[in-house]
Amino acid sequence: MCCAGSEQRLTCTDQMMLFGKVSQQLCGIKKLPWSCDSRYFWGWLNAVFNKVDYDRIRDVGPDRAASEWLLRCGAMVRYHGQERWQTDYNHLPTGPLDKYKIQAIDATNSCIMSIGFDHMVGLQHVEKIRLCKCHYIEDDCLLRLGQLENLQKSILEMEIISCGNITYKGIIALRHLRNLKYLLLSDLPGVREKENLIQVFETALPSLELKLQLK
């Protein structure tokens, strides 16, 4: 059992440690290509936020560590038995760390990327994932999801919308999510093999409701 006060102090400490690490790494950079494009810097910073801390996962459990990762990157999570979405890193629920199990993830406009997906290895209760306007999501992310045995069992719904780096290769990896019941694919310019896609999912997941809003 963790008392509310100690949990709050832990959260603030985590934030201080996180930004302390970022500051240290910033100080170590001698030159950034500001004259060319600041996207390099923001890409690097997002990679820092996505870095997996395996000691943290061991200490607080996969659901808490994954929640911290997702909120740090601008995503939201909802826990089993709750209607409210968690959106603020500093207001994650207090109490026993094993009490809160992630049921749904909404990564709309977030900066999650493939190097952070090891946070999902221990998640066993995720039923829905929404990836919308995620500029760093690519095929490797979906391939990783399809490989995780826990998610193969638990995921029931997925929505992938306006993720420009996703192609046919990433989408068909979702056929391994054997309990997937609903899949929405919308505004994915990299996915062109529409008829092949339908055939793959009809064969692998005959009970799947597949909604395509593709050109």
**pLDDT tens, 167-189?**
999 999 999 999 999 999 999 99
Determine the pLDDT at residue 37.
53
The 8-class DSSP code of residue 145 comes to H
Determine the pLDDT at residue 109.
96
Determine the pLDDT at residue 44.
55
Determine the pLDDT at residue 98.
79
Determine the pLDDT at residue 9.
36
Determine the pLDDT at residue 39.
53
Exposure on the CB side of residue 183, measured as CA atoms within 13 A = 24
Dig out the tokens for 209 from the structure.
Answer: 């409701």
The whole-angstrom separation of Cα 149 and Cα 127 is 13
Dig out the tokens for 22 from the structure.
Answer: 């970022």
Separation of CA 44 from chain center: 18
- Spell out, as residue ranges, where the chain has pLDDT lower than 70: 1-45
What backbone torsions phi and psi does residue 106 show, to the nearest 5 degrees? -120, 105
CA angle 89/69/136 to nearest 5° reads: 120
Per the CATH hierarchy, to which homologous superfamily does domain 38-213 belong?
Ribonuclease Inhibitor (3.80.10.10)
**Domain edges within the chain:** 38-213
Give the closest residue to 174 by CA, choosing from 158, 163, 190, 162. 158
Q: Determine how many CB atoms are found less than 10 A away from the CB of residue 122.
A: 15
With both helix axes pointing from N to C terminus, report the angle between 39-50 and 62-72 in degrees, rounded to the nearest 10: 170
